[in-house]
Structures are given as C-alpha cells and as structure tokens.
Chains A and B, each alone.
Chain A
Amino acid sequence: MITLTINDKEITLEKPVTVLEAAKQAGIKIPTLCYHEAVKPFGGCRLCVVEVERMPRLQTACTLTAADGMIVRTESETISRVRRGILEFLLINHPLDCPYCDKAGECELQDLVKKYGPTVGRFKEEKRRVPESHKDQILARNMERCVVCTRCVRMCNDVQGASAISIMGRAGYSRMEPFSSASFNCEYCGNCLTVCPVGAILSRLYIHSFRPWQVDREVETVCSYCGVGCSLVVQVRDESIKRVIPKIGFGLNKGLLCSRGRFGYEYINSPDRLKTPLVRKNGKLEESTWSEALTIIADKLTKIKKADGGSAIAGIASPRCSNEDNYVFQKFMRMACGTNNIDSISRTGFAAAQKYFEDVLGQGITANIIEGLKNSETILVLGGDPTAINPILGLSIREAARRGAKIIVLGNAKGLERFKTLQLVPEVFKEADLLDALLVEISHAKGVRGEISAIDKGIRMLSEKSAGNKNVQGFDELKNILMSSPSTSIVLGMDIVQRTDGHRALFAIAGLTYLLEARLYLLSEKPNEQGLIDAGCVPDMLPGGRPLSIHDFKRKFEDLWNGAIPEDDGMTLFEIIEGARGNKIKALYLMGENPVFNLPGKFYIKESLKALDFLVVQDIFLTETAEIADVVLPALGWTEKTGTYTNLERRIQLQKKAVEVSHGMEDWRIISEVSNKMGYRMDYAESKDIMDEMAKVSPLYRDLTYREISYGNCLWPYLGEPLRGEISEVPEASYVANQYKEDFYLSVEKPLYHSGTLSRRSPALLKMYPEPALKVGAKSAEKLGLNEGDRVQFFTQTGSREAAVSIDESIKDNRVYFSNNFQGDGVYSLMTCNIDKVTKAPGIEGCEVKIKKL
C-alpha cells in the first residue's frame, strides 16, 4: 500500500502508478500535452509539473512514480508561472490559425492556453513557416501547428509498430515526417490522428467540412469490416457519417483502429447503393415496388416447394449480416421453405476450420480472447498475415514480440517482418507435410497426453507412417521453441485450409493445440463468421451449435418454432452450387453474398447460378451475382440498422443504428415479410424481438439482452452451456496429392486496405490501394527479370490477366499474390476448386501460373 497526499487529499494506491495517474484516480486534473494514455509517458512538454515536498525542483507528474509519504501540490503560483512560460514558448511558432483549423474546439493546446496561457506573447521574431503538406491522399500534415509532443511517433513506433514516421530535423526545425517527406505510404491506421493534440495531423476525408461541435449525434458502435469487431464512435450530421473516431481505452481494441475501420466508412454513402427492388422483366432488371417483388418471391418459392419439395430450394447467408438476420434467414429456410440447404461463404475457410476443431477438440476451442495473445510466450502464425486480415489482432502479436515473445511465421506475413523471431518457408502447398512432421516429433518428445483418444490415435497413425517432411530450414529451432514454451498461441489464417488436403493441416494444428495446450485463434475476414454458425446458418446444425442429427434438439426447436424441420442434413455451399448446375436446386436465396465474385472459378459459378429457375439476391449493391438475379432487394447496411455480431473470439457485440435512411429494409424484415406471404408467420417489430427469441431457443444466448450485450463483455460461453461432444475417430479422407512442378503459384492477396467487395466503394481505401497489382517476391522478380511497376500478363489454366508488378520483399517463396477485391475479374476468376472431402471447404486449385513481361 502506498499512501500519498495530493493537494491535501490523502490517496491510497493498490499498486505503484505515476503521480499523474494517482491524481486522476483522486479526481484531480493535471494538465498534460505530451502525455496520452495510449502511449508510454515521455516527460517532454513539462506541462504536468508539480511540486513535491523535499524534492528540489518541479517534477513531471507523468513520469514520476508515486511513493509512500509523498506530498504533492498540483497548482501553485510557481507552477502556473512555469506552465504559462511553456505555453508562451510553444506559441512562438504556432500559427494561431484557430478560425481556420479543423481542430479548433477539440484542440488540447487551445484549451490549455485558454486556461494557463499568456494573453500576449513577447516574441517579436518571425514564426517558422512550413507549408501544409497535401501530398498524402489521406492525411494532411501541418507542421506549423505541431508542438513536437511526439505522441504520433510514439504511437506509430510503440503501439502500432508501423514505424512510418519520425521527428526529422532539430530544435526549432523539428517536424514529424514520414520517410518520403511527402506521402505516408504507411499502414494508414490513422492512430497518429487519434493522439495528435493539435491540428498538425488531420484526415483529408473531412477536412474543412464541419466543426467538431457541429454533429447531430455520436453513436458508439462496432466496426463492420473484419472478425475482430472493434468499438468505435460514429459522428453523424444531416443523416450522413461525418467521421469515425475511436474511444480511447474502450472496447476490445482499446481505442486503436485500422485503415478499414477508420477510413473505410464512405461506402455506405456510395451513389451505387441499391434504392429500390429490381425485378427481371423480359430479360432485364427493372425497378419495381416492394409489394410486387415480395409477392413474386413468395409465389415462386411456394410453387417450387410444391412441385419439387423444399430440398429444391437453398439459401446462402452472409457473414456481413447480423446474428438476427442470419437467425431469421435460417428459420425462414427451414420452416417456410422446408429445407436445410443453408450455408455461407464462410464454408471456404472459417466455418470449415471452426467445425473441424470443435468436432475434434470440443466446442468453444476457438473462443480465445485476443488480449491473451499479448501474454503468450510463443506465437505460431500460419496461413496468412494477421496484421492485414485482422489488423487489431495483429497488434497484439506485435505487442507480444515487443515484450520478448517468440513469433514464428510459417510462410509469408508482411506485417510481422520486423517482429518475427523465426520464419520457415515450406514448399508451396506442402505446409501440411511440415506440420505432420512437427506433430510427430513433438508427440515423441512429449509422450501421449491421453485425454482425447481420437487425436492420440491420429497422431499414432501419423507416427507409424513416419509422415511428414522436416526438411525445412529452421525446423529444429521451431521444434525446440515450441517444446520449451510455457504458453503457446496458434494463429491460423485460412490459406492453409483452402487446399484439397486442407483437413491434414487442420488435424496437425489440432494435434499441436492439444499437445502444447495452445490457444487457437482463427483469423476471420468478415465480421460475423462465428455468429452465423451460432445462428444456425449451417446445413447440419440448428442455432446454438445443436446438431440436427440429435432428435431431441430437433424436436425442441420444432416445438418452439411451431412446425417441422426437415430430417436430413442440408447441402453445403459447393453442393448447392453443384446442385444448381445439376438442376437439383431450382431456387436460391442469397442474403448479402456475391458468390460469382467471391468464390474460386467465377465462370463455373456464374453458369451454375444461371441454370437456376429462380435467384433472389438481397444486397446493398448491385453485385456481379445480383446482375444475374431474378429479383434484387435493397437491404440496409452498417449504421443503418441495429443488430448483434459475434467476433472471432466469440464476443457478442451490438452494432447500433446511427443514421436514418429512406431506402431499403433490414435483411430480417425483408425475409419475415416473404415468410408471412408464404404462410409461415414471423412477427418481429424490431431486431430486439429476434434476440429475445434467440435467447429463448439457443443455449448460447440464454437470457441475453441488448442491454447486457451493449456492455461489450458477452464472451463465450455467454450464459449458455457449452456442449462438448467427443468423437471416436478423426475424420479422414483419401486425396490425390498433386505433383506441382510449376515455377510460380498464384495466391489470393488479403490486402490491409481492402475487405471483400465493400471497400471498392470506399474512395479513401481506393486511394491507399487504387488498383490491383501482382505482388512478387524479390527472388522471383529477379528470376523473371521484373522491376517495380512493369506490366505483366499472367496465365493460369483458366484465364489470364494483366497487371503491374509490385515487388514485395516479404514474400519469401515462389508464390505471387493478386487480390480479389477490385472491380473487374479478381484472382478467383483465374482459379478452380476441388472440395476437401472432410471439411467441405474448397481446395483452391489451378494456381500454377506463368508470367510474361509485356
């Protein structure tokens, strides 16, 4: 216990903190400028000086640790004089252009000068002139206003880990600059923007467009981009989003944001948004009314159901829609249409992997808190770059590295280049061999754990076959690190899963998780991949992860839902597409999904969907799939509706409505209207009613209310009961190992600045990464004789594309990367797929690529 006195007030501290924090706890405010709670104290600005008895000089409260018996004064004549002096010095060069500056009204310097500052300055010298830099497309840099508090630099170096900016020059000429002195070319997280106390760094998205006090309302909500689900605040004026700002210390991201979350919001105001329902008439999509469109859908689905049975209808749900949307969707498919053919794009990775791990290791195995990564001693990263797919999760890995944890990267991960301890580069598509060998070696060293017999058996079989290949540089070091690590986390991206033998890698990872007692994190590109599984948008499970095959569960849901649920497991995503092609599926209902663009083999999928009798697409944009639909319905997007989302750590969070729009309807409302027209009653007035029902029927959400969720701490297992099942045998399938012999392989790029196809409508994100480039490793570029910016044509068996080359030194193997985000043909259109028989995920094939310089 530490007891100190601040301003005659006695304060008792549990643990040693700085005097500044102790004062804050006691409700005493000490002025600061260079201090920010998100970065480490620095003691640079000297504004927080306090008097401490028996200490000779004034002390900086932000760096002074409180000690027992200290007597501190935070305000006195001397202190005020010193503060006034400091501010007078700061204002020598500050332009005092407050009427013109966007920061006025929320500027810390302005507030401080108002309170402590001199009314007149005594310096007659010319002010430093540094023209405002508009050379960057996202951030405006005004170094006349800068007070060199270095918060931005400390944020960039110590928290974000991008180290893109630094203080250049010396003394009166010091200024913050990126390396290039013009464009930042950084990760564009904008966290420097959060911490800048003055108007030195401003976002060009809203510069000179409004004043901080001119907002109609602020809504605390959750980001719509990836599976992390960061909390943020949306500021609204005239029913449009003015800006997105973080709330420091709030939410699982603690006020940090990434490029997509902070700058990617503009898509919601895009002029391309769908406004009215469209109905195909004489081969053309024409504007229609809601009542016409909904009647056509209900009639057509009823007719098909009657003629061919419910099993001729299928639905694809969306990981971008809320739990409520997805719950209503699967209920509609099961009860109104009478089919279990419900799946989603998550089948291509997350849902497949998640199901596999839960089958093998037990339900909830992937529900680990992101914050926990920071405490891991070893982090094994494979199958993708976490700092690009889930940037805020990536920050936890960087934080762990800074703390001294060992970061092992398998394959390529650009964002961890300066943070990794060890990188292994296995042969392309042979990652499973390396993992098998690792599993066998570790099981030999550790012995049988004997808890889950199925896994032990699987490992024994691998061991008998002496499977795998340890002939990869760094293998022994990797093994030694893992063997001696007291706490291990495994961060798995989906690139490894999307192979025809993807289940092999999954088993090896499950085995490693089991033997090392590791925590498992699945990277999730979309915001609600976990939520849609929990809501029951999978062909073999009812809400709450209840297997359809267990009769008691099925009967319970039938009682609650007033009707009969079809007996057999439905079709998975690719079975649905095959079914459409083979005329087994006649009608397909798509909620917020664009399979033509987002699945490998564009032309094959487009043809399959064209073979359907009836295709309904519900979306916010006229997507490539919507263009071939029979009916297109405009849905509502982020900030236009309320709903809950479940992130990759299985935290349920509430996305709140912030703006009022006149067009479109919530996804769940559209579906319940169709359902009502088809004769299955759904009476929900607002999304809260759906959550109330889910809380009743799904054991995962038991007794959960919006009020409780809005506190943000609803983590697995919520209030429900975990359902652990044990399997006797690990599912295995025979597969034909492909003999790859090409020089280069095409892979899907997961860019930091883009996400699915939403981001192509965000002007800011397009400025960061305007057009797709072929990312080539330095070695490959040398081999091909390519330079940065060269135009190339690259061919796979399925097609070819032209693009500029971008050389990326973080790519160590002979992969080349191309994105699937931009308008036009994405990388998926050049690939084919083959289903993994166990996970039903697509094994992406046809990646052998030839590159020709133009």
Chain B
Amino acid sequence: MFNETVLKEINDIRVKYPDRRSALLPSLYIAQREFGWLSHEAMLCVSKTLNLPEAEVRGTASFYAMFKNKPVGRHVIQLCTNVSCMILGAEKLVDFIGNKYGVQPGGISQDGRFSLVIMECIGACGTAPAMLVDTDFYDSLTEKRIEEILEGYK
C-alpha cells in the first residue's frame, strides 16, 4: 500500500474533481512513479485508494502507451524511429544501443540499467533523430552523442 505522503498526494488530487474516476490518470502516474511500472499491486493500490473497480483501473492503465505494463530498467530510453528519425539513421542507433548496452527494443538490459522503448514521433523532426531518457529530451543524436549522454545515467 502507498505510504502516508503518497496517500495525501492522491487525496489532494482527488478533491480537485467532482468524482473519483477523474482522479484516476494522475493517480496512476503517481503509482508508476512509486513502483516504477504499473504492476498488479500498483493498480490494486490505486483501486483501493480511489475506491474504483480494479478492472476499470487496469482497463484505463492499459490504454495509454506511457503507462508501463511491465518492469522497466532504472532508466527508460525512448527512441523515435518515425519517418524523419528513420531517414537520419535512427534504426542504426537502435542497433548501436542494443550492441553497446545489451538492450533490445521493448526489453531491459541485463544489469537493469536501461530499458529501450521505440517511440512514435516525439515532435523533434527538425533536429532528428531524437530520444527521451526518463523525462529528459535529447536530439541531433549520433552514436557518440548517445554514448556521452548515457554516461550520465548510471
């Protein structure tokens, strides 16, 4: 179950809305922050805290790509391979990350350091290829630059 601080945080969100359902998405973000991903346990906690049916919580969580439905590494790399990024070599970058850090798209590296998620467009076509590491944004990527950036995420 959530600790007192988190419960209070969720309750503060809840009182902003006329019904409990509306507080579901922000509460799920909090649960994901706390648990790393939305495990059954995390969703049960949300369901209990908001007194919403468990199935509804999971139904909502499973709809959105940014809610993670399996465990993730300590840092999540979200790399775009959509048109502009692809033309500028994003697919090679996927291979590079795969070889260098041992993490395949949708997977998690052996040491649990990184997960790699292939994203659809993240709106940085002008400076493609682009990626997010956790919530930080990076563009104009090259293999060298990726190496430098990921050094900062242990």
Contacts and interface: CB of A to CB of B under 8 A. Distances in A.
Do A and B pair up? The answer is yes
Interface of A: 157, 163-170, 177-180, 418
A163 B58 contact: no
Contacts of A157: 53, 56
B20 to A, nearest CB: 10
13 contacts: A166-B60, A167-B59, A168-B62, A170-B62, A177-B58, A179-B43, A179-B53, A179-B54, A179-B55, A179-B57, A179-B58, A418-B51, A418-B53
A166 B55 contact: yes
A166 B51 contact: no
Interface residues of B, number: 15
Contacts of A179: 40, 43, 53-55, 57-58
Contacts of A167: 59
Given A164-B55, A418-B51, 11 more contacts: A163-B55, A166-B60, A168-B62, A169-B62, A169-B63, A170-B64, A178-B55, A179-B40, A179-B53, A179-B55, A180-B40
Nearest to A166: B59
B58 A168 contact: yes
Interface of B is mostly: helix
**Closest CB pairs A-B (n = 3):** A166-B59, A163-B53, A179-B54
Interface string B59-96: 11011110000000000000000000000000000000
A179 B47 CA distance: 11
Choose among A165, A167, A178, A179 the residue with the greatest number of B CB atoms under 10 Å from its CB.
A179
A164 B55 CA distance: 6
A165 B62 contact: no
A157 B62 CA distance: 18
Contacts of B55: 163-166, 177-179
A113 B58 CA distance: 33
A163 B62 contact: no
A218 B137 CA distance: 66
A179 B57 CA distance: 8
A455 B51 CA distance: 42
Contacts of A169: 62-63
Contact of A164 (B43, B53, B57): B53
A168 B51 contact: no
A511 B47 CA distance: 40
Contacts of B60: 166
B53 A168 contact: no
Nearest to B51: A418
Contacts of B57: 179
B32 to A, nearest CB: 17
A107 to B, nearest CB: 25
A177 B43 CA distance: 15
Nearest to B55: A166
Contact of A166 (B40, B56, B64, B65): B56
A541 B58 CA distance: 57
B56 A163 contact: yes
Contacts of B58: 166, 168, 177, 179
Nearest to A165: B55
Contacts of B56: 157, 163, 166
Contact of A170 (B43, B53, B54, B63): B63
A246 to B, nearest CB: 23
A157 B51 CA distance: 14
Contacts of A170: 62-65
A157 B52 CA distance: 11
A166 B53 CA distance: 10
Interface in B25-66: 40, 43, 51, 53-60, 62-65
Choose among A163, A166, A177 the residue with the greatest number of B CB atoms under 10 Å from its CB.
A166
Nearest to B59: A166
Contact of A168 (B40, B59, B65): B59
Contacts of A177: 55, 58
Nearest to A175: B62
A607 B60 CA distance: 59
Contacts of A168: 58-59, 62
A778 to B, nearest CB: 11
A157 B56 CA distance: 9
B135 to A, nearest CB: 23
Interface string B102-121: 00000000000000000000
A178 B59 CA distance: 9
A179 B58 CA distance: 6
Contacts of B65: 170
A268 to B, nearest CB: 33
A157 B59 CA distance: 13
Nearest to A809: B48
A163 B60 CA distance: 13
Contacts of B54: 179
Contacts of B62: 168-170
A178 B53 CA distance: 11
A240 B82 CA distance: 61
B115 to A, nearest CB: 20
